[in-house]
Amino acid sequence: MSIHPTAVIHPRAALGAGVSVGPLAVIEEGAVLGDGCMVHAHAFVGGNVTLGKNCTVGHGAVLGGEPQDFAFKPQVKSRVVIGDGTKIFEYATIHRGTAEGSETVVGDGCFLMGGVHLAHNVRLGSGVIIGNNALLAGYVQVDDRVFISGGCLFHQGIRVGRLAICQGLSAFSKDIPPFVIAAERNGVAGLNFVGLRRAGLGAAERAEIKRAFDLLYRSGKNATQAAGAARSENWGDAGRAFWEFVAGAKKKGLCDWLGTRRAAAGGE
């Protein structure tokens, strides 16, 4: 264990074996740091934060701060839970849940670059990569192996499906289906074929995902009509996952096909 003499660590914080804490870092009472964690200079780890094994907390990062919610009451007991092997870079902020007993959760093996903000009750799956200065509002849910490019903005309560990729400087207030490339403002530009190959999805699975995508976005049907048509077809695991996500998008709606917009504007 390597603890800088200027670090402020409460005696009732729980630090695992091989933890490293840099200059002027603060670790509050009740915080739990798994084996092999590294907390860099000036970082803050609140008392309601649990870090898994081999996590990194970058310079000036704040984990477990109070949520930016007018309805929040400071006496509320809520948490931040970080999975094993997650790297959080400089000046990222991850706020704890806003309701009693609730959590902000980051899965295993995530990679959060500098300036990322996760508001209260955000939930990230495993293997999520988020670029610099991306901002996720409260209750956003991001599934496994999503890639969010720098500067993206996410409205509260939306969902981002597995293996989606979001282009930089885009903004979203609607759900983003799995496997797609999301772009601009609530737009879908195509399928994330590179990501699908890297994730090990074979040619047959990719073809099925394309069939589902085309039915939803390129058949001329609206989402309800496309989902109805999909029920009469046979789907494997990937296709069923796609349509299950679509069925759950009733509250926020789905991002739409940029090709339709461009055609309506005379650009295609």
How is residue 96 annotated by DSSP? P
Helix H or strand E segment including 143: none
CB distance 213 to 196 below 8 Å: no
CB distance 186 to 255 below 8 Å: yes
Structure confidence at residue 267 (pLDDT): 58
Domain ranges across the chain:
2-139, 198-264
Local confidence band at 79 (pLDDT 50, 70, 90 cut-offs): very high
Mean pLDDT for all residues in the chain: 97
List pLDDT tens digits, range 142-197. 999 999 999 999 999 999 999 999 999 999 999 999 999 999 999 999 999 999 99
pLDDT greater than 60 at residue 34: yes
Q: Provide CATH code, domain 2-139.
A: 2.160.10.10
CB distance 194 to 200 below 8 Å: no
CB distance 195 to 165 below 8 Å: yes
Q: At 254, phi and psi to the nearest 5? A: -105, 150
**Considering the domain 198-264, what is its CATH architecture?**
Up-down Bundle (1.20)
CA distances from 201 to 129, 146, 167, 206 (A): 19, 15, 22, 6
Distance (Å, whole) CA 89 – CA 116? 8
